[in-house]
Amino acid sequence: MRVHIDYNSSEPIYRQAVEQIKLMVVSGQLREGDRIPSIRELARELAINPTTAAKIYTELEHAGVLTLRQGQGAFIRNNLSLVAPKAARKIVADLAQRVIVEGLRLGLDGRTIHGIVGEELDRIAKGRS
């Protein structure tokens, strides 16, 4: 598992890691049952405080992306059935709104934003096949 942290980013380190690990799961790089580094191992790999690594794993556990097993480690889990379709749609719509607002704020037009989202969806889908 390769997580790349941009220490100069305004996005918190834990958020960068959480989003990258989620991407690895949806793109198929990480699969159900895969063991990922322990909290201590992740902290060492990323040169971060173990408390930050624990926060990353807590977020992922709450999101249903992984399960922590005492003494065994952290494992990717299948979370497809954890969220009702209506709730999932609302979550994604809220995130899409944030992307659209940020794109417009940066001066992009709707067509460009739509194109970017489509390209990213295609890129992730290719990784899954």
Contact between residue 29 and residue 127 where contact means Cβ atoms under 8 Å apart: yes
Q: What is the pTM of this model?
A: 0.73
pLDDT of amino acid 80: 59
Q: From 75, 56, 79, select the one nearest 67 (Cα to Cα).
A: 75
Of the candidates 71, 88, 70, the residue with the CA atom closest to the CA atom of residue 79: 88
Counting residues of the chain whose pLDDT is more than 70, the rounded percentage is 93
Mean pLDDT along residues 30-49: 92
- Asked whether residue 129 carries a pLDDT value surpassing 60, the answer given is no
The structure tokens listed for 21 are: 């690990």
pLDDT in tens, 74-117: 999 866 555 667 777 888 899 999 999 999 999 999 999 999 99
Tokens of 129: 């096949």
Q: Where are the domains of the chain?
A: 13-76, 85-128
Per CATH, the number for 13-76 is 1.10.10.10
Q: Shortest CA distance to 68 belongs to which of 23, 114, 37?
A: 37
